[in-house]
Amino acid sequence: MADAEKTKPEGVRVDLTGQVALVTGASRGIGRAIAIHLARCGATVAGVARTVDALQGTLAAIREAGGTAEGFAANVGDSADVARVVEEIEAKFPKIQILVNNAGVTRDGLMLRMEDDAWQQVIDVNLKGTFQFCRALGAIMMRQRYGRIVNITSVSGLMGNPGQANYSASKAGVIGFTKTIARELASRGITVNAVAPGFIETDMTSVLPDKIKAEVKERVPVRRLGEPEDIADLVAYLASPSAGYITGQIIAVDGGMTA
C-alpha cells in the first residue's frame, strides 16, 4: 500500500459483509481508496478500469488484507463496452448491492478554444458512463428491492471552474441526474447520492503547478488538500444499510471550500 494509506487512520467501518460493490475507476486515486475501504468493511469488490492490468495494485492490496476483489476492463464512456462488462460482472456476482460511479477524466482548456473532442470525451466518460452503469445496475437493484448508488461529482459541478467548461458541465449533469434517479428509485429501496470532492491529491491533480496547489490550500478553510481516504469514508457510509434515509443528496467533501 502507498505510504499515505499506511499513515492514515483506517476510517469508519460500516458493516458491508456479504455485499458486492461495483466501483468504476478503481485502479488509482479516489476509486482505489474507495475499493480498498469497501473491501475492508466486508464487501466483495468488482473493480472496473480500462485495463485489468491497471487494477492489479488495488486487487493485490485488497487480497493482502484478506478481502475479495475481481478486476474487469471497460471504457465507461463506450455503451457497448459497459453493456458487456455489466454482463460479465453479473455472471460472476448475480447480486450487486453497491454501485460507485467514480471513473472520470479532465481535458481542461478555456471554452473559446475547446475542441468538440475534448467536450465529448469528458461528457461521455463522466456523465454518460454514470448513466449507463446506473441504468444497468438500477435494473438489478430493482429486482433485489435494495441498492446503494454513489456517484462521484465535483465542486466544479457546484461552483464552476474556469478552464473546466466540459468537466463542470459533466459533473453538474451528474448532480441533476442523481437527484432525478433518486426520486425514481426510492420506492424500491434504492438510494442514490453524490459526493462532491474538493481538491484531492491524485494523478488527476498532480499535473497542476505547485502555485495553484498553494492557492487552493489558502482558499480551503481546513488549510490542506484532501486525500482519497477522505472521500472513501463517506462513500462507505452512504453505501451502507444505515444510510437508507439519505437519498438525492449532494455532499461536498472539500475542507469547507464551498461552505
| Residues that bind ligand NAP in the complex, under the rule CB under 6 A | 24-31, 49-50, 54, 75-77, 102-105, 125, 152, 154, 197, 199-200, 202-205
Pairwise CA distance, residues 143 & 256, whole Å: 39
We find the least distance from the C-beta atom of residue 76 to ligand NAP, in angstroms, to be 4
We find the least distance from the C-beta atom of residue 188 to ligand NAP, in angstroms, to be 26
**Annotated catalytic residue: which of 146, 167, 237, 245?**
167
- The three cell numbers locating residue 84: 458487456
We find the least distance from the C-beta atom of residue 225 to ligand NAP, in angstroms, to be 8
Three-point CA angle 236, 227, 176, nearest 5°? 60
The yes-or-no answer on residue 245 being catalytic is no
Q: Is 110 helix (H, G, I), strand (E, B) or coil?
A: coil
Nearer to ligand NAP (CB atom), residue 24 or residue 166: 24
Nearer to ligand NAP (CB atom), residue 56 or residue 242: 56
Pairwise CA distance, residues 196 & 235, whole Å: 11
Pairwise CA distance, residues 148 & 142, whole Å: 11
Nearer to ligand NAP (CB atom), residue 191 or residue 202: 202
End-to-end Cα separation, the chain, in angstroms = 33
Residue 97: how many other CB atoms lie within 10 Å = 24
Nearer to ligand NAP (CB atom), residue 17 or residue 209: 209
**In 116-256, beta strands by DSSP E:** 147-152, 190-197, 250-253
Nearest to 225 by CA among 240, 248, 246, 206: 206
- Point out the residues that are catalytic: 167
